[in-house]
Amino acid sequence: MATARAADQFKGQARLPKFAVPRRYDLKLVPDLDACKFTGAVVVYVDVIEETKFLVLNAADLVVAEGSVSFRSQDSSQELRPTEVINVVEDEVLVLAFKKALPFGEGVLRIGFSGTLNDQMKGFYRSEYVHNGEKKNMAVTQFEPADARRCFPCWDEPAFKVILFISPLVVSSLFCALRRRLPSYGDGHSSRDMISNLLICAPMKGVTELSKSSALEMLCCKNCDAMSTLILGIASHDLLLRF
């Protein structure tokens, strides 16, 4: 209870505290289009730049189990577990409280989570289409202005620019696309000229399987540019994309 009261200092704040700064996300997502749910795991490489017993980031409409959360300093093999995982629903904030102050410098934060593919066109949501007379689901994202937090726990503010490594895991019959919105320069370029905007768009068949018994396959997007979470886009479906 004392920790929970200490976490009250982060309620009602306009911005996340900056005693820890994210540098890179390694994100894995597993959508279930039939059940309209998804699971995921994120590894966040962070710099702890001020003394703190807390890590505070954004999360909304996600289930985070305490046992799935850990932190490890880059200079140590010791894994630290939070004493409490506090979901501040009204502020869409996730507070991770540790027993002792975290070591300064680079660290690795791991979080497992799950959620629902909602029908609100926010975060990671579901949409419907009809193919050969059959209604089907697709999973797509809308992260602007601040809804990446509904897909995975993150520092979901434009000031935090981070490198993202993304591995969507989908059934082998699906297509997966990852899109990063590039700046518009107003120079008359057509959408065809912006094809470099597309990071991944490929049928999942033929991609290395996770295991011989698994129906899931993986594509990995390795984007070298640091960017805000709001400009990322993900889609999972069985439509053939044409340009």
Q: What is the CATH number of the domain that holds 97?
A: 2.60.40.1730
More confidently predicted of 51 and 198 = 51
**Residue 243: inside a domain:** no
Q: What is the domain count for the chain?
A: 1
Specify the higher pLDDT residue, 135 or 240.
135
The alpha carbon of 123 is separated from its chain's Cα centroid by a whole number of angstroms, namely: 9
Average pLDDT, the chain: 76
Range with lowest mean pLDDT among 26-35, 80-89, 172-181: 172-181
3-state secondary structure of 180: strand
Within a domain: 242: no
Residue 175 lies in a domain: yes
pLDDT category of residue 23 using cuts at 50, 70 and 90: very high
Tell me the C-alpha distance between 118 and 69, whole Å.
24
In this prediction, residue 168 carries a pLDDT of: 55
Q: Which residue has tokens 């640091």?
A: 226
Asked whether residue 54 is assigned to any structural domain, the reply reads yes
Which pLDDT does position 32 carry in this prediction? 84
Judge whether 197 lies within some domain.
yes
| Chain Cα centroid distance, residue 237 | 18
Quick check: is 202 in a domain? yes
The pLDDT of residue 207: 32
In a domain, 174, yes or no: yes
Q: Are 147 and 123 in contact (CB under 8 A)?
A: yes
User: Has residue 222 been placed in a domain?
Assistant: yes
Decide if pLDDT at 208 tops 60.
no
Beta bridge partners of 123: 142
| Containing structural domain, residue 49 | 2-237
